[in-house]
Amino acid sequence: MEAKRAWRRWASAGAATILAAAVAAPAATWAAGRPAVHRSGSSVTLLETGSTLLYPLFNLWVPAYTHTHPGVKITTAATGSGTGISEATSGAVQIGASDAYLPPAHPSTLMNIPLAISAQQVNYNVPGLNGVHLKLSGPVLAGIYTGRIKTWNAAPIRALNPGVKLPAHAIVPLRRADASGDTFIFTQYLTFSAGKAWPAGYGTSVSWPALPSLVAEPGNSGMVSGLKSIPYSVAYVGVSYLNETNAAHLGEAKLENRAGNFVLPVAATIETAAKARVGQTPPDEALSLVYAPGKDAYPIINYEYAIVSQKQASAAVAAAVRSFLTWALTVGNGERFLSQVHFQPLPPAIVKMSKAQIAKVR
């Protein structure tokens, strides 16, 4: 009977654990209300979280900035754009990093401020073909992600790649498990280019087609390791992970643009696409750059945003936010930072608009 009592004790402890597991996740975030600003003396700490695509750049920016601005400390975290948006909204962080702009219905004090221009690659791991740039299009990718195109040697892929010996192996499409700006721009490409053939629309987290072969991976790093470990997989990966995808000898697709040409995400094709679109940027700077017109335009490019609230906890914090973001747009947009993550600098007109938004941070 001693034993029985022992397990009862275990049982109550177990029940508490389950309850905690059931409710802790949402409760913790709901409770994470107001700003976590730590100030000691004259120094200010800023918290940044969000986009895993922007994360490598922030890790280059922060040491350089804090070196010349010793009064400011900045912590960074790669948690996905969805977290960046939600934590900047709740005030848990001062800067939320996102590859996606805010939805139309968002708190009026929240702004999306472009910091640079990025692109997204479509990578694959097809043994024997990773050295070849396979040609893929929006409709073909929509077919792969809905399950209408099942194998690498399916007719629609063969038609785009004449002369390439494609294997009869099943395709394993990967998607992001977390709420992601990469999912946002990838599904925008599918929505804009494939029309009705892509039913799920676009968003940071979409209702993916019910496909048994579809696998979810956390973050851009998860996508890269998924590609490495799963042969015959295909995934969308931020261009800031180009060094990693090259090191892993993954294939990189040439994507079909609006003009019907197949292009790689290199400086020239990203710039061409940006030039075609940035003129339409509205004052709040929420604009999709995906599927831009132009003979050589790369189809999946985007603004990398800082999601920032106009109302900060104190004048000192607001000043630090303004100072850092302005630095990011000027010094931080320099070649020595952006080239390492394969981003492109903002055009002068957009820098001006971003600065106008930064001035509203109080």
Residue numbers of the site for other proteins (CB under 8 A)?
A: 1-4, 6-8, 10-11, 14-23, 25-27, 29, 79-80, 82-83, 85-86, 89-90, 102-106, 170, 172, 177-179, 201-216, 218, 229-230, 233
Q: How far is the CB of 351 from other proteins (least distance, A)?
A: 26
Instruction: Please report which helix (H) or strand (E) contains residue 273, including its range.
Output: helix 267-277
CA dihedral for 256, 117, 111, 176, sign (positive or negative): positive
User: Measured from the CB atom, is 103 or 334 closer to other proteins?
Assistant: 103
Q: How far is CA 42 from the centre of its chain?
A: 34
Taking Cα atoms as reference points, which of 305, 298, 280, 277 lies closest to residue 289? 277
Q: How far is the CB of 123 from other proteins (least distance, A)?
A: 16
User: Measured from the CB atom, is 11 or 159 closer to other proteins?
Assistant: 11
DSSP for residue 314: S
User: Measured from the CB atom, is 147 or 347 closer to other proteins?
Assistant: 147
Q: How far is the CB of 201 from other proteins (least distance, A)?
A: 6
Q: How far is the CB of 143 from other proteins (least distance, A)?
A: 18
Q: Is 125 helix (H, G, I), strand (E, B) or coil?
A: strand
Q: How far is the CB of 249 from other proteins (least distance, A)?
A: 19
User: Measured from the CB atom, is 233 or 257 closer to other proteins?
Assistant: 233
User: Measured from the CB atom, is 64 or 110 closer to other proteins?
Assistant: 110
The full DSSP string for 196-230 is GG-TT--SSS------TT-EEE-HHHHHHHHHHHS
User: Measured from the CB atom, is 178 or 304 closer to other proteins?
Assistant: 178
CA distance 172 to 315: 51
Q: How far is the CB of 288 from other proteins (least distance, A)?
A: 9
User: Measured from the CB atom, is 88 or 273 closer to other proteins?
Assistant: 88
E-assigned strand segments in the chain? 39-40, 43-50, 72-75, 95-98, 110-125, 135-136, 172-176, 215-217, 233-238, 251-252, 254-256, 262-263, 301-309
CA dihedral for 52, 54, 57, 59, sign (positive or negative): negative
Q: Is 73 left (phi over 0), alpha (psi -120 to 50) or beta?
A: beta
Q: How far is the CB of 207 from other proteins (least distance, A)?
A: 3
Judge contact between 130 and 250, C-beta under 8 A.
yes
User: Measured from the CB atom, is 104 or 260 closer to other proteins?
Assistant: 104
CA distance 237 to 313: 35
Q: How far is the CB of 106 from other proteins (least distance, A)?
A: 7
In angstroms, how far apart are the furthest CA atoms of the chain? 81
User: Measured from the CB atom, is 131 or 212 closer to other proteins?
Assistant: 212
Q: How far is the CB of 114 from other proteins (least distance, A)?
A: 17
Q: How far is CA 303 from the centre of its chain?
A: 10
DSSP for residue 81: H
